[in-house]
Amino acid sequence: MKSVIDLIEYLKANDLPGWVTAAWSLLFWPLAVWWWNDRKRSGLPGLDITPRERAAKPIKVGDKACTGVQFNFINKTQEIVYLTDVAIVDHSDRFEPATDADRTLTETYELKFLGPDKRTYHLRQMILQTNEEAQTVLPVIIPDMTAFLKYRRSTLRALFFGPRYFALEFVAMVGQKRRRVRIVY
């Protein structure tokens, strides 16, 4: 008991509340502000991303023909949007990318945008004006495509659980603001 009383007397003598306030102001508060500005968001208002089955023709990956999921990015933000680093970073067994798809060393699947020739997907970044659309596609193996297309993502799943099908991450510049986005389906 005497040591506790000695500790309280020492803290009173050396201004503990002042040191706690200084540590909070100089260390914790700036870290909290930095984290808040640099966090991954679960979407961007006005940027619609819709996955759909690519119905045109099967995608040829290596020697195999696979079905594809096409992602349409539609800009309704009333500002110019710059998209880059679009990738599938996590997926479940219900959404299996083709084995020869464009996989990186970090086990993510990079998505490339449709070029101006409307035949090849080779652009790593895209600039979207208002009401403009960009397309990207990923060859996948999905046992139940109709269940995938009917699925609507939930915020609760994004916060507490892993993806039911996949997690899509990208970097977007909207106006002068840079945003990292992670959308969980």
Whether the CB-CB separation of 12 and 152 falls below 8 Å is answered with: no
Q: Could you tell me which residues come within 8 angstroms of residue 110 by beta carbon, excluding any fewer than 6 positions away?
A: 86, 87, 102, 103, 104, 124
Query: In this structure, which topology does domain 40-184 adopt according to CATH?
Result: Immunoglobulin-like (2.60.40)
**pTM for the structure as a whole:** 0.75
pLDDT of residue 56: 62
Q: Does residue 55 surpass a pLDDT of 70? A: no
pLDDT in tens, 138-166: 888 777 777 877 887 777 776 677 788 88
Q: How far apart are the first and last CA of the chain?
A: 57
Q: Per-residue confidence at 127, pLDDT binned at 50, 70, 90?
A: very high
pLDDT at 134: 93
Name the pLDDT band for 93 (thresholds 50, 70, 90).
confident
Is the confidence at residue 173, as pLDDT, over 90? yes
Q: What percent of the chain has pLDDT over 70?
A: 89
- Check the CA dihedral 36-82-71-60 and report its sign: negative
pLDDT at position 75, please?
94
Query: Do 136 and 113 meet the contact criterion of CB atoms below 8 Å apart?
Result: yes
**Does residue 119 surpass a pLDDT of 90?**
no
More confident residue, 28 or 11: 28
Mean pLDDT, range 44-50, rounded to an integer: 89
Instruction: Tell me the average pLDDT across 167-177.
Output: 90
Across residues 4-9, what is the average pLDDT?
82
Q: Select the more confidently predicted residue: 130 or 67.
A: 130
**Is residue 53 a contact partner of residue 71, using CB atoms and an 8 Å limit?**
no
